[in-house]
């Protein structure tokens, strides 16, 4: 599926460019993500996604296939596999930054393929989740840009710090998903009611056949 998102950050385009490439600095803005290693081109890490009572963990890599600084255009290809399951996720993200009124407009096009449990939600719900996540990411990124960057020798997340909370798809999707779930529940209730009625009629017919009325 293809998704498109746009957001703005209140800094010049060059500053926004260098911040977005500072993966370890912006990683805390991505729910459920943990960066284990980054060499300037390849990111190794994991992402946890919560689907109802079940938490799904993906482990994989993301590679910058393009970093065109003069054009402020980047292409990131990410792929991962469930650590306990057969599900997979693959995404190609193309980001373009442009100067806008002293700030920076960021446009992100995503080509996403997901298999496994998160895929059950379909494109509509995943798009809604994506919209909400981009909004949260943009707000978090703006806060990060207003801070002074940490010293080079300081690690963003020490080993003794707690792992980030997994990305909760149901909570993130919010009301739209709740409405869909309610609609499905209503259909199931109607089907169950109809099935009970048919069973009762079936039992009634069998009883009348076993005990026919006296002449």
With beta carbons less than 8 A apart as the criterion, state whether 79 and 90 touch: yes
The DSSP call for residue 53 is T
| d(C-alpha 11, C-alpha 101), whole Å | 10
Average pLDDT over residues 154-161: 48
| Helix, strand, coil percentages for the chain (3-state, nearest 5) | 40, 35, 25
pLDDT digits 0-9 by tens, 56-87: 888 999 999 999 999 999 999 999 998 888 88
Predicted local distance difference test score (pLDDT) of residue 97: 96
Position 152 pLDDT exceeds 60:
no
Average pLDDT over residues 48-56: 76
- Residues 42-65 as b or e (16 or more Cβ within 10 Å = b): ebebbbbbbbeeeebbbebebebe
Distances (CA, A) of 108 to 12, 66, 122: 18, 14, 20
Least confident of 21-30, 66-75, 76-85, 154-163: 154-163
For the chain, the farthest-separated pair of C-alpha atoms sits apart, in whole angstroms, at 100
Consecutive H or E run containing 128: helix 122-145
Q: Checking DSSP bridges between strand 42-51 and strand 167-168, what pairing results, if any?
A: parallel
User: Could you tell me the residue ranges of all domains in the chain?
Assistant: 2-146
User: What CATH number matches the domain at 2-146, 3.30.530.20, 3.10.110.10, 3.30.300.350, 3.20.20.370?
Assistant: 3.30.530.20
Predicted local distance difference test score (pLDDT) of residue 150: 55
State the Cα torsion 107-108-109-111 to the nearest 10°: 180
160 or 70: whose pLDDT is higher? 70
Tokens of 9: 């950050």
Predicted local distance difference test score (pLDDT) of residue 37: 92
Predicted local distance difference test score (pLDDT) of residue 188: 46
């Amino acid at each position: 599926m293809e998704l498109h998102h746009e957001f703005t950050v209140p800094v010049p385009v060059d500053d926004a460019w260098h911040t977005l490439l500072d993966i370890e600095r912006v990683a805390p803005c991505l729910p459920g993500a943990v960066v284990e290693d980054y060499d300037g081109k390849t990111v190794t890490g994991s992402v946890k996604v919560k689907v109802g009572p079940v938490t799904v963990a993906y482990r994989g890599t993301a590679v910058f296939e393009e970093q065109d600084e003069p054009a402020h255009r980047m292409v990131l290809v990410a792929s991962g596999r469930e650590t306990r399951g057969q599900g997979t996720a693959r995404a190609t993200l193309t980001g373009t930054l442009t100067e806008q009124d002293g700030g920076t407009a960021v446009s992100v096009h995503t080509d996403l393929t997901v298999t496994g449990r998160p895929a059950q939600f379909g494109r509509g719900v995943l798009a809604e989740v994506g919209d909400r996540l981009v909004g949260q990411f943009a707000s978090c990124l703006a806060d990060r840009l207003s801070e002074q960057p940490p010293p080079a020798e300081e690690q963003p997340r020490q080993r003794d710090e707690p792992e980030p909370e997994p990305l909760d798809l149901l909570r993130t999707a919010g009301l739209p998903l709740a409405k869909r779930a309610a609609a499905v529940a209503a259909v199931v209730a109607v089907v169950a009611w109809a099935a009970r009625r048919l069973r009762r009629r079936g039992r009634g017919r069998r009883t009348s056949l076993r005990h026919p009325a006296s002449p």
